[in-house]
Amino acid sequence: MVSRVIPVEPFELVIFGGTGDLARRKVLPGLFRRFCAGQMPKDARVIGSARTELDRNGFRKMVADSIKEFGGKELASQAELPEFLECLDYVATDARGDKGWAELSAMVRKELVNAFYFSVAPSLFGDIAERLKRHDLADDTSRIVVEKPFGRDLASAEELNATLAKHFKEKQIYRIDHYLGKETVQNLMALRFGNVMFEPLWNGKYIDHIQITVAETVAVGSRGAYYDKSGAMRDMVQNHLMQLLCLIAMEPPAQFAPDAVRDEKLKVIRALQPVQPHEIVRGQYEAKDGQPGYREEAENPRSFTESFIAMKTHISNFRWAGVPFYLRTGKRMATRASEIAVVFKALPHSIFEDNEPDRNVLSIQLQPNEGITMDMTIKEPGPGGMRLVNVPLDMTFAEALGPDAEEVPDAYERLIMDVIRGNQTLFMRGDEVEAAWTWTDPIIEGWTARNDVPKPYEPGSMGPLDAHALMRRDDRNWREVKG
């Protein structure tokens, strides 16, 4: 197979929080995969930095162990591993003190693309940004990468944006939402804007409703304490589901360019209608078969935080007037599966008397089996008259594209390479994040004001019964998503 991988320019990537969970699980194994694919050049360097006292060799060993633990045996046994480890270095720094900064500044080759990954608590963003400037580590060409949670409400997001803006221009700030790096999410844009047949149908005249489901089987586990301050609304809806909604609903941008795309996404968020209390169902998973329930994991027996949410919202614009968007996400659900389903309207008139055709459904599966299917009505083959059946036109990538499909990089890998390439298209702009909180805040404030208690649900189910009632009230049903 001919490799289509284009190497990026040599770079220096400094990861603050370089010994942390995200770096070990995602960022470092991801960089190694890009190295093996020939995309990360051999003269690029990744410098880990954290408070932990480690030397270069200690860091290299930690990375090798992380690759084995989180990247799998096959990745860890790649012949390129020693060469990759050669590209790693480490400097211990104190984000709030002076330790290590001069050494780091002396190490970084300023003539290369410089990127600084803030894989640390947002409360340290300001301190690190300020020290990067004070120690001449960053200039107008440097890039910084920040992770969610980007604020916990509008006020804190504005404050974070203002803190970063003191030191960096918007074009230097890469706010990661890893859902935007998922292959199928990008394919959504290819599908909508690279094919002539969807655009004329992509509106309230032909689309009945849209469902977005991000179901997880995992529990909150050891993240209970963090999660309890966040909940599904802040952890998933305000960012990941919102981004999916934007891509499905936005107007065609004039170009596939960062601000053209982000301007259109922003318009969608700003056009979201406020959600009414009866349009939301919150849930909390119960204990089952010796497995702890949400409140035990959160170590908060009176917790009112939701581990599941289902809601209906509308976008007030010409294209989407009258089309409901149903969103749901949760932990400990029946299956791990994420899907966006575009459910088309019924035919205005059926010519088949005893045989009503089903509605067309375009389903975009984000994970685990990435692909797109379109449910179509055809005649059942063979004799017996005009019997109709519903069959999917299937574009599961692994099947449609053969071995090439296996090369799909993980979301983080792709996004880090985009940082080095200087392409912000798949990153959130500051105003987008603020607009998302503007919509989210009143919903959360409403729960607090009403002392809203989430409904219990059985682990392994698809959420509380009320989530189904939310749909049935509208004479619709959630689709069965398959893992």
Burial 1-31 (b: 16+ CB within 10 A, else e): eeeeeeebebbbbbbbbbbbebbbebbbbbb
Nearer to ligand BG6, 216 or 370 (CB): 216
Enclosing H/E stretch for 15 = strand 11-16
Residue 417, token pair as written in the block:
């390479």
DSSP code for 236: I
d(CA 58, CA 422): 31
What is the nearest approach in angstroms of ligand BG6 to the Cβ of residue 157?
16
What is the nearest approach in angstroms of ligand BG6 to the Cβ of residue 418?
17
Q: Is 188 exposed, middle or buried (0-12, 13-18, 19+ CB in 10 A)?
A: middle
Spatial contact of 15 and 48, defined as CB atoms under 8 Å apart: yes
What is the nearest approach in angstroms of ligand BG6 to the Cβ of residue 331?
7
d(CA 319, CA 250): 9
* Identity of the residue numbered 430: G
What is the nearest approach in angstroms of ligand BG6 to the Cβ of residue 11?
25
Selecting among 240, 278, 349, 468, the annotated active-site residue is: 240
Neighbours of 173 (CB within 10 A): 22
Nearer to ligand BG6, 216 or 339 (CB): 216
Nearer to ligand BG6, 93 or 243 (CB): 243
Residue of 196, 384, 223 whose CA lies nearest to 294:
223
d(CA 9, CA 89): 19
Spatial contact of 455 and 468, defined as CB atoms under 8 Å apart: no
**Of residues 384-403, which lie at the interface with ligand BG6 (CB under 6 A)?**
none
Query: Should residue 413 be labelled a site residue for ligand BG6 when binding is judged by CB under 6 A?
Result: no
What is the nearest approach in angstroms of ligand BG6 to the Cβ of residue 279?
23
- The site map against ligand BG6 for 140-179 (x = CB under 6 A) is --------------------------------------x-
Nearer to ligand BG6, 235 or 339 (CB): 235
What is the nearest approach in angstroms of ligand BG6 to the Cβ of residue 391?
29
Neighbours of 302 (CB within 10 A): 7
In the annotation, is 240 catalytic? yes
| Interacting residue with ligand BG6 among 208, 228, 235, 297 (CB under 6 A) | 235
End-to-end CA distance of the chain: 29
Query: Should residue 216 be labelled a site residue for ligand BG6 when binding is judged by CB under 6 A?
Result: yes
Nearer to ligand BG6, 39 or 213 (CB): 213
Nearer to ligand BG6, 208 or 216 (CB): 216
Positions that interact with ligand BG6 (CB under 6 A): 178, 216, 235
Q: Would you name the residues annotated as active-site residues?
A: 240
